[in-house]
Structure 1
């Protein structure tokens, strides 16, 4: 075979049947784990444009996750020929774009995702989108439909129900793991499949992709046989605890990898040549696993939530390269070789993405004012904010969905817990997702001890606790915990901002340990903890943000309205998640010698920390 698909596996008859459906066909594809779904969709889109005669703007591709959208865009750009121009968006970004076109006078970004989704459904039902879609929409492709629940499901049903267009919807109900997003049983996974069958009846073409291209060993195929039993039926028949126990028993029958506090085990993780993942039932387990790996000197990456995006450090280099408001292609080409990291993106693709998201249509320079605005509003494309690759990933089951690795270590999720809102069906599907990530090797791993780790309801963060109720021993760090309105050295402590930017760019690495040092004991009437500075080795590199101080204050309260009586002198166990580009005060940036744009670097924190108290403070906290 020649052309864009040279070297790809030969299409199966099942894939061919999906690809060859006419443009007006209404098709539901059940695609099992590792079944070549993305490649099939790319080939389907290619055929719609090249052979069915659809224009790219007449096709809409929607998906649940940013990772899925990013993968589709990447594959279309590489293989899709004319189909590379097809719109590919998450449900949320598409809803925002549509609402902004329908009524640009409303600040839709100030509303949360769910409000925008509801508004989009109302707009479609009212006919407000007819001018855009009634004649111009000929085919809709929707990926990951098993995760459509609640208001997103209603929005997609409104879209498909109103417009006379073909569609290709793809999902695997065995991997439906987002039912927790809706508390109404009528809105649980499976309802969208029922709606499709009831609405389109005999016109609905149901196809299946059953061949697994991912798993290359019997071990990696261990859970696949249960996939069909986990799929939801028209009655949303629950697979029940039985399948969860079968999956857990199968996992327990794999080899145990060993304890992560064993140096020999850590050495084996470091020396492995392929890609690996350690998958945990909860994010608290992932945080503790990451802590053990750091202690063992094992480099790894902790998977962020899909919506938790960091703007890469190289973006700040673009702004530093010019004082003007426009960046030309020649200036970009001069900077590009020195960019610290651009992932898999080549020069031309990066340039095109910057143009598309910063400048009016037709302009061939990057409008830095527009790009800064995109940074502020979070409109930077996913391709530019994807986490860099790592040989070892630590993730929760949820966040690993759609990923694959040569070797996977799954932590034992333990027996099902009675009550507490546990859904045995969803627990079974989550474990199935975790166990179907490997290409070659599947191991099991003992779960870390989380007896004194729990989610703090007031801050929505994981915290460390003690059997004595009043003790607070540590708190999870997340994005936004570092002050970014002024650059390091211009706030909280005196330093040379220019020199500190160079230090952040060259000396501070992902995974490096940081210490947060309390400056004084002063709180304020706004509910802020004392200020803390951030130390890397022997250098101060930043200060914590006001939102973090507010979060720490609430975490330290023993009850609503109470005033914390003690504060940790040091907060240890913090790690560098990334050095990211942040937006702050242009005036502060200019006075600090960092140019007129108000763009610079700051550390992004992660980790489940430890609190270190002065002895007197500990005694006070125990007396409370």
Structure 2
């Protein structure tokens, strides 16, 4: 064993069988929860480079989330030898890069995730990517059980178009993204469809292997759900449409876990703050995760809310770096000097950060080209490793967003019984009992040591708003709205804070953002006007931190708030909340806006500065007259 692997486990015979396949092999690996999949893939990539003589540019590695990219890339840097320069990417970032290379004028950054996936599929199918990938020799894809709809079709076209080997890894017992296919009939046929396509397309050339041993769970309580995996896997592979029995069995298993009770101040704060390992609180929906996050803030428990896989945030240190550079080209020595004073990710090395920032031709000669770096920020072209959320000791997440993650201790919020068909229709949901069982299985197989059960949350008035796709606070009176979810992109980034809708020294605002604003801090959205300026939008709102404006809401938020408050086709909102409370700072992010506005504000020539990224399930505060009118209507 080489020095790079001295601190890692030896390969099992199952893992060795995967690692030792030749570069032209067509390999599909069924890997159960905690089966050492990432460790196996790192060793597989190392062998492809060292023993099969592939270069990093001849290997394409795709996965679903930035967290998975960060984990795989970190393992390659720490433990990889020959393959440490192989780059893993999410489907979204790879599709965007491909489309930008083939059709730079297509304005792909402004289009939706689904549109980019479909666009990349069409580009490959039409042969427009043939020259770009003429040297492609091996494709590695993680979590292939979740390839459904457009993403499945993209990967099928990719593997058929290029004559190369592949290693695809997945577990049908953890297939949980069927819900992204909106058509119920089509959704029913997506489970295990990619595995069926592989077998039909490549037939006897396909090498099928399995990883069955669990390395994650280190205690009996952490292994409590593992026994359900074989049945869920067999049902998914058989395509059988079962009733609620498997979901009920898994929920009964969850009830055997130790109860954490409720998130009350006396016990929960101490139990969560004093635990030395990593903890996750997992919820069935993002709406429940927002409620849990709110309660944790109330009892003084610092934590991080898990973002979606497509939610990109460029870290603040990149913008601060660009602000301090004296020329458009930054030498490596100057780069290293500046990094010493910047809030770079813990454990990141100058070599690693230079490599990530300088990718895709952003290093010109001996220097980092800030103009090209600025373009990558504005188009979403930075590597996933740079835009992934940093690690946290306590994470609150939905079941879906926790996929692929693991923690020392996991608290699963009891998802309760499945809704009846009538209840599901009222909520606008299509309930698939088999997928719900797999989803609960995923949540219950995240812990290394401890699995706890949290009592079901009261969520009667927290619902997904069909008009906006955001979670909202509702009232039993249909016409009343009590709050709306705040998400990334709700703060204006086209101009620096202090130059639009409120006047302040932009340089001082930037300094305040760096020195005084921290993740988890509470902010208030305060209405600037009582009436909207444009059609089909709300008035703008100031983002206020400890009494000081630090930003203003975006046009997108104004349109979303309008739609949230528009109760019907013939109704036009005339009243707007005076304030929205319960909002928190997720992170300080680097944004790219108007270069002219940035230069005029004294923030440099690149149109790059910092802005707060917000989250939370807000509470509406209405003017007194509006509250009295609502009370009168309710009384009648």
TM over 0.5: yes
Alignment partner of 2:321 out of 276, 296, 318: 318
The 2-side partners of 1:218 and 1:35 are apart by: 16
The residue that corresponds to 1:335 in the other structure is 338
Shift of 1:357: 4.6
Aligned with residue 506 of structure 1, among 510, 515, 529: 515
Aligned to 1:293: 296
Displacement of 1:104 after TM fit?
Answer: 4.8
The alpha carbon displacement at 1:399 in A equals: 0.2
Deviations 1:207-263 (A, max 9, x none): 110111110000000011111111155432245421111110010111110211332
Q: Is the 8 A contact 2:92 2:310 kept in 1?
A: no
**Equivalent of 2:546, from 510, 517, 537?**
537
Do the aligned residues in 1 keep the contact of 2:590 with 2:611 (CA within 8 Å)? yes
- Unaligned 5+ segments in structure 2 are 425-429
The 10-residue stretch of structure 1 (163-172 or 12-21) with the greater mean CA deviation from structure 2:
163-172
Describe the shift of the 1:44–1:558 C-alpha distance in structure 2 as closer, same or farther (beyond 3 A). same
Deviation at 1:378, TM superposition (A): 0.8
CA contact (8 A) 1:230 1:239 kept: no
Q: CA deviation at 1:516?
A: 1.5
Residue in structure 2 matching 1:269, options 272, 297, 316: 272
- State the TM-score, normalizing by the size of structure 2: 0.93
* Distance of 1:565 and 1:103 partners within structure 2: 44
Q: Secondary structure at the match of 2:4?
A: coil
Change in Cα spacing, 1:270 to 1:233, as seen in structure 2 (3 Å) is closer
Q: Using the alignment, how far apart are the partners of 1:593 and 1:130 within structure 2?
A: 45
How many angstroms apart in 2 are the aligned matches of 1:356 and 1:537? 39
Query: Normalization by structure 1: what TM-score?
Result: 0.95
Match of 2:375 in 1: 373
Match of 1:355 among 353, 358, 361: 358
Against the structure 1 CA distance between its residues 329 and 85, is the aligned structure 2 distance closer, same or farther, given a 3 Å change threshold? closer
Q: Distance in 2 between matches of 1:400 and 1:218?
A: 21
Residue equivalent to 2:84: 84
- 1:356 is displaced (CA, Å) by 1.5
**Closer, same or farther: CA 14–329 of 1 in aligned 2, 3 Å:** same
1:364 matched to 2:366? The reply is: yes
Q: Secondary structure at the match of 2:614?
A: strand
1:197 counterpart = 2:199: yes
1:430 pairs with 415, 429, 439, which one?
A: 439
Alignment partner, residue 17 of structure 2: 17
Q: Which secondary structure state, in structure 1, belongs to the residue aligned with residue 412 of structure 2?
A: strand
The residue correspondences of 1:433-512 to structure 2 (distance < 5 A) are: 433-512=442-521
Which residue of structure 2 lines up, in the alignment, with residue 576 of structure 1?
585
Aligned counterpart in structure 2 of residue 226 of structure 1, from 228, 253, 266: 228
The C-alpha deviation readout for 1:522-566, integer Å capped at 9, x for no partner, is 213422222221221132222222221222122122223422232
Once structures 1 and 2 are overlaid, which stretch shifts more, 200-209 or 221-230? 200-209
Name the CA shift for 1:139/1:358 in 2 (closer, same or farther; >3 Å): closer
Name the CA shift for 1:407/1:63 in 2 (closer, same or farther; >3 Å).
Answer: same
Q: Where does residue 344 of structure 1 map in the other structure?
A: 347
SS in 1 for 2:511: helix
Match of 2:402 among 394, 400, 421: 400
| Segment drifting more, 306-315 vs 159-168 | 159-168
Partner of 2:146: 147
Tell me, yes or no, if the aligned pair for 1:470 and 1:621 is still in contact at 8 Å.
Answer: no
Moved more, 213-222 or 136-145: 136-145
Match of 2:171?
A: 172
My pick for the range that moved more, 217-226 or 65-74, is 65-74
> Number of residue pairs matched?
622
C-alpha change, 1:380 and 1:164, in structure 2 (3 Å) is closer
How many angstroms does 1:107 deviate by?
4.2
CA contact (8 A) 1:336 1:347 kept: yes
CA contact (8 A) 1:568 1:614 kept: yes
Q: Distance in 1 between matches of 2:108 and 2:593?
A: 23
Aligned-pair CA distance for 1:443: 0.3
Tell whether the 8 Å contact from 1:518 to 1:569 is kept in structure 2 after alignment. yes
Aligned to 1:568, what secondary structure does the other structure show?
Answer: coil
CA distance in structure 2 between the aligned counterparts of 1:270 and 1:570, rounded to whole angstroms: 31
Q: Which runs of 5+ in 1 are unaligned?
A: none
Q: Using the alignment, how far apart are the partners of 2:349 and 2:42 within structure 1?
A: 21
